Structure 1
Amino acid sequence: MIIVIDALNKDRFGDLLDEMFQLRARVFGDRLGWEVEIVDGREIDQFDRLDPAYVIGLDDEGHVISCVRALQTTGPHMLSDVFQVLLDGEPPLRSATLWESTRFCVDTQRLCRDGESMKAVSMATCELMIGSLEYARRSGISDIITVIDPVVNRVLKRSDNAPYDYVGSTKQMGKVPAMAALLDCTEERISRVRAFAGIQHDVFASDDAVRALLDSREDAGSVSADVAEWLALMSQPQEPEVPVLPEDIRDYCRAQIESAETDADRAAALRLVEILVRERIYPATHQLVAQG
């Protein structure tokens, strides 16, 4: 699913933006070796302070799996202020209907956890392309200029989303070369990408639906004070005369929590602990510990 975060709704989605900046640090700083500034594990630059629009892809649990930034070319932007070497001395293109798209990346690490990793990466990439193109078209943007590397250029071509032109020339930037490409935001282009990926549904999720998903995820990962104390007690070695929890139940609960692969699995394991704490085991054992 895709959500667009801009100056109008960024206050509601600070958690998503934070996760996105961490993803950018891993991709552009660690993997690609670009000369980007990373502070506390987050890649944020001066253009993020200009209230750009972020098109962000989420998985079913609400985690950021892809992102791209859209910025007007009538003011400061990366091609005019950072990547001007790509332009070979020519002035940057500027127009109210031409926006710059940068920081396109996909979280291959998260998506490669299962056996269908390549399919998941391809779908996430195409969904982000569709989302960014449709957002641009609906916003009155006719064309996108984007700084990409040869790998992304090949991905665009394979997904029937090839640039219609290039500006300047390819130059080495960090570990990989970079180039400036032009894409039109037409229905024809969007339809080609949809046909390639087999995506016909609306890729966008509403702000309210995404916020509800994120809130439920946070609730699933939280525990009450009693459960937190119980978990702490469970992890400590126990004296034989103070049986905080029968060993078989303790080991079962710990195994369920540690083996949880999704937020839903963890929530179910914690609900079991909540029942044990609230209904039967915790009050009696807590008293024994307190008296001991």
Structure 2
Amino acid sequence: MIHVVNADQFRNYHDLLEEAWRLRHRIFVKEMGWSAIARDDGREIDEFDDDHAVHLLAVADGELVGYSRLLPTTRPYVLSSHLPELCEGPPPSAPHIVEWSRIGVSEKVRTSGRRLNPTALDLLTAIVEWGLPRGIRGFVSEMPTSWLLRLLQLHIHALPLGLPRTIDGVEIVAVNAGFDERSLRQLQAVRGSTESVLADHSRSTIKLAS
């Protein structure tokens, strides 16, 4: 189940958000070697974890098993502020486009093989399911080039914003990915279920701060 959490819910999700900061540290600092963002407290938090961020928490049996973050592109975000070299033109900026970043899955639920991890698939489904009724029609993201084909197979129209670059030993490309109702149907088909991936409160009118 995916809980969509913005600043108004931080108090209710304090413990899970603390788990999220520590999961991010394990993935991005310990595993991926992003030493520049390391903190002594073992929590990975940056300047974008503010009142404008929306956090997607994948929870199973009361435990955090996956995480990602959405940011509005109408104000500074990770790609525009720290990785503009991945774009051959200006980074996208529009009310209907968010940035999807800090995507991670707990060690306990990782899978091998070519199929998209079920928790990662739920996180992606949550963006589309939650975003469509709110007028969101796409996301930008910095991702391994191998993800491009997977997005297209999920009927998400992913277009590179520039040529790939090697960052920390991984070939990364910035993409502008559009989605619609057809994308949601394909995601549901791949998941094998039309049931919502969103927790009950997340189906309400939580909005990105502008």
TM-score (norm 2): 0.85
Distance 1:190 1:143, change over 3 A: same
Paired residue secondary structure (1:48): coil
- Residue 32 of structure 1 contacts residue 176 of structure 1 at CA under 8 Å; is this kept in 2? no
The residue aligned with 1:17 is: 17
- Residue 28 of structure 1 contacts residue 36 of structure 1 at CA under 8 Å; is this kept in 2? no
Paired residue secondary structure (1:57): strand
> Offset of 1:155 from its aligned partner?
4.3
Which of 1 and 2 has greater Rg? Answer: 1
Distance 1:125 1:161, change over 3 A: farther
Say which of 130, 148, 153 aligns to 1:135. 130
The residue aligned with 2:205 is: none
1:147 aligned to 2:142? Answer: yes
The residue aligned with 2:42 is: 41
Distance 1:69 1:180, change over 3 A: same
Paired residue secondary structure (2:7): coil
Distance 1:153 1:164, change over 3 A: closer
Distance 1:161 1:32, change over 3 A: farther
Distance 1:161 1:148, change over 3 A: farther
Distance 1:36 1:138, change over 3 A: farther
> Offset of 1:175 from its aligned partner?
2.6
Paired residue secondary structure (1:177): strand
Residues paired across the two proteins, number: 200
In terms of fraction of residues, the more strand-rich structure is 2
- Residue 20 of structure 1 contacts residue 64 of structure 1 at CA under 8 Å; is this kept in 2? yes
The residue aligned with 1:4 is: 4
Paired residue secondary structure (1:33): coil
Higher-RCO chain (CA-CA 8 Å, sequence separation at least 6): 2
Extract unaligned runs of 5+ from structure 2. Answer: 203-210
Distance 1:70 1:37, change over 3 A: same
- Percent identity over the alignment is 25
Aligned equivalents of 1:35, 1:189: Cα separation in 2: 36
CA deviations 1:94-149 (Å, max 9, x no partner) are 11111111111111x1115xxxx559972212111111111121221122111112
Paired residue secondary structure (2:48): helix
In terms of fraction of residues, the more helix-rich structure is 1
Aligned equivalents of 2:32, 2:19: Cα separation in 1: 19
1:96 aligned to 2:100? Answer: no
Q: Aligned-residue CA RMSD in angstroms?
A: 2.3
CA deviations 1:193-214 (Å, max 9, x no partner) are 1111212211112359xxxxxx
Aligned equivalents of 2:50, 2:161: Cα separation in 1: 26
Write the letter of the residue equivalent to 2:121: C
Extract unaligned runs of 5+ from structure 1. Answer: 209-292
The residue aligned with 1:87 is: 87
Aligned equivalents of 1:161, 1:146: Cα separation in 2: 16
